[in-house]
Chains A and B, each alone.
Chain A
């Protein structure tokens, strides 16, 4: 793991306006995650975990402050440039997989590659490699409805990995899975971190899941209450 920070959040605040009321999610939040780290972010509902993840992934912007990821200050990038940046640098894994129901596993995994200039043959090759990595080489032509929750999440991991991003952002990746399947998914994420050097930020409610990370950050009412808890 490198000491150079891949993610650096500096004095970030996030506020929402709901009617006449302004809700502050967090205020002047600072965070630094080095390249190659595997961080679990835990905390109660409404603590700002997902909002923080969204800021790291460039799908939301802070009300104030700076967000630097992979060498770019992404909070000030225009929308088009931010889309390109996301496609090149970040892979997302969601709790409910968010696969396209009408596409096969292979086609779902191929989606991010449509944003590249790769030819069809090269795309197919990369899709097969990504699906092999998550042990789903035999499910290439299966539709999501023909797969179990664990298999769908592994397809989602393959989709997140296929364009070889630096950063993987996981929002409750095992929240919809049983313990055994969740462990399989977490082992896969651990493998991606340890063997391929991917930086992973995972939001979770599950302390068992957090154990797979290198360290755990606790976020409560917009403040990190405990840092650098060594994981298993």
Chain B
């Protein structure tokens, strides 16, 4: 028997109370784990953005197109290493609820720009570049729909009509399935050839959604952005050039301030738990006043009793919080395929776990320090005289 044994025995002496407190803490940490991971994944576009990548959009907003002729002029700007473009397709597979994030791109330059994000099998990459009717599919999408390389798949647009067929569907052959090359990159996305799309779409020909480029040096980003926007100033399609991080942040903010929402929800849960557990711990220790007096009488020093009471609330916090984070891990695995489109790579990441452990320590300390101080200051004669 040691102090930990006594702490455990004291904590579970009233099992129902201990379990209820643990459930409350469990729920708070489950919420923290899932929402914290979601927020991280949702904002991964900002945090995981390349330092040298810029995005050029129509100045009005990113849904407005610009002429493809702009691309070559951008390429000529000093400090631009490579420039490509994308066009939002608004696709789905078979029925609208099977939404697929899909872009028409200039394959060779686009894969050069985003080369650090995605990993390709070289043969598959070559096949994708060679075949205008092919499509490169992120592994998350392939897994979701059970697609394999070589499959022929239809993608329907909720924006464009296919001139050659009169309907909104384009058929593609899967040439490549790519995987994330680094952390915080989602693969809930497909790319296909702009040329093939551009030739067959019924409107918007020779227009593109955005230009995406790599600069030769992050220090040149501002200069390059200013130069590009100056290039198209006072034209019918003025541009606004921002870093990829800023673009992704602005895109994410279309859905609202997720970070604030997550902070408020988790904060409210923690404040509630703090009050419930803190109050219960104070009562639990008060019920044991006489026993604490006996321990002191036996010779247990004040510091050791302080540590034992504090240890009790820390143990409670770690059990409830640990189970909560473990459940959050499972919940993230379950939710990842469902929210991959806007929160790519949803997983209980190490920073969230470490923050969770920090919160466990904080919760245990804050809820335990008052009863521990009360126990520390308890006078033996008073304690033994109390019923």
Contact = CB atoms under 8 A, between A and B. Distances in A.
A116 to B, nearest CB: 10
B178 to A, nearest CB: 59
Contacts of A85: 299
Contacts of A79: 301-302
A112 B298 contact: yes
A114 B9 contact: no
Interface size class of A (residues with CB under 8 A): 20 to 34
A60 B381 contact: yes
Contacts of A59: 296-297, 380-381, 384
Chain A interface, DSSP helix/strand/loop, else mixed? helix
B375 to A, nearest CB: 14
A57 B10 contact: no
A112 B301 contact: no
Interface residues of B, number: 24
A100 B301 contact: no
B1 A114 contact: yes
A110 interface: yes
Contacts of A94: 294, 384
A101 interface: yes
A80 interface: yes
A170 B295 CA distance: 16
Interface string A139-179: 00000000000000000000100000000000000000000
B13 interface: yes
A38 interface: no
A100 B298 contact: no
A26 interface: no
B143 to A, nearest CB: 51
B290 interface: yes
Contacts of A54: 380-381
B3 interface: yes
Interface of A: 54, 57, 59-60, 79-80, 83-88, 92, 94, 98, 100-103, 107, 110-112, 114-115, 120, 123, 159
The 3 closest A-B CB pairs, nearest first, are: A87-B299, A102-B13, A59-B380
30 contacts: A54-B380, A59-B296, A59-B381, A59-B384, A79-B301, A83-B299, A83-B300, A84-B301, A86-B298, A88-B299, A92-B298, A94-B384, A98-B290, A98-B294, A98-B384, A100-B9, A100-B291, A100-B294, A101-B13, A102-B9, A102-B12, A103-B6, A107-B5, A110-B1, A111-B295, A111-B298, A112-B298, A114-B2, A115-B299, A120-B1
